[in-house]
Amino acid sequence: MSIITTVMGDRLLEGHVHPVYHGRWRDESGSSSLHRSGPVDYTDRMTEQPRFLADAMLARLARWLRVLNFDTRHDPSIHDPELVQMADREDRWLLTRDRALVKELRPSKAVLITRDDPLRQLTEVVEQCELDKPERLFLRCLVCNTPLREATDREIRDRLPPSAENYPDTRLYCPHCQRLYWPGSHTQRMTRTLARALPDWFDR
């Protein structure tokens, strides 16, 4: 008979279930369900990276994961049973601070978040899911999670404020919520913040 454990090592539930090691679900052979492959095209790489579903308490963590280009869904209106069903159906890692959810609903893959600060939570996910540094940042809408595309001249003309016209880099556009993104001072600040939170990634 197996016993399910969390990152804290507490016994939660007896029965024939999948154990959790360091907050990650594995099968009983000890192998991880996270698939990794060799170098691929960047578009394919975004698709093949681990995907996440954050519960209602982890909105800021979801935003930081999107900065790193990880497909991260977050909808605080979804109740716990539907949340677990969605994570399992879409093969997403469920990110939660709710110990009871993990104990009672037993999602297939979950990380039980134990820290309060969003950047420390991000570090926790990176470590527990063994994530690799993305090749680029800011390729996903921070609000709705949709992959961005290059903006057309009309989209730029209609949405770009005059204060951002001097930034020479490509402007990106969210086709779902119609937001325009450009590499201004806000992206520089967020990149510096990430470098402090994940020094092993940014000091390479």
Per-residue confidence (pLDDT) for residue 38, from 0 to 100? 31
Are 123 and 153 in the same domain? no
Are 156 and 194 in the same domain? yes
Are 106 and 185 in the same domain? no
Are 154 and 93 in the same domain? no
- Measured CA to CA, the distance from residue 51 to residue 100 in angstroms comes to 22
96, 128, 160 — which closes off a domain? 128
Decide if 177 is inside a domain: yes
Are 96 and 160 in the same domain? no
**How many domains are contained in the chain?**
2
Decide if 15 is inside a domain: yes
Are 63 and 118 in the same domain? yes
- With a CB cutoff of 8 Å and minimum separation 6, the contacts of 156 are 171, 180
Q: What is the pTM of this model?
A: 0.76
Other CB atoms within 10 A of residue 2 CB = 12
Which phi and psi (to 5°) does residue 191 adopt?
A: -65, -40
Decide if 142 is inside a domain: no
Are 101 and 31 in the same domain? yes
Are 198 and 101 in the same domain? no
Decide if 72 is inside a domain: yes
Are 48 and 114 in the same domain? yes
Are 119 and 35 in the same domain? yes
Decide if 85 is inside a domain: yes
Decide if 105 is inside a domain: yes
Which phi and psi (to 5°) does residue 159 adopt?
A: -125, -20
Are 123 and 34 in the same domain? yes
Per-residue confidence (pLDDT) for residue 202, from 0 to 100? 84
Q: How confident is the model at residue 166 (pLDDT cuts 50, 70, 90)?
A: confident
Per the CB < 8 A criterion, the answer to whether 181 and 173 are in contact is yes
Mean pLDDT estimate for the chain = 80
Decide if 98 is inside a domain: yes
In this predicted model, what pLDDT tens digit does every residue of 37-87 receive, in sequence order?
A: 332 233 444 557 899 999 999 999 999 999 999 999 999 999 999 999 999
In this predicted model, what pLDDT tens digit does every residue of 98-138 receive, in sequence order?
A: 999 999 999 999 999 999 999 999 999 999 999 999 999 99
Are 157 and 92 in the same domain? no
Query: 7-11, 24-28, 123-127: which has the highest mean pLDDT?
Result: 123-127
Give the domain range for residue 153.
Answer: 149-202
75, 96, 128 — which closes off a domain? 128
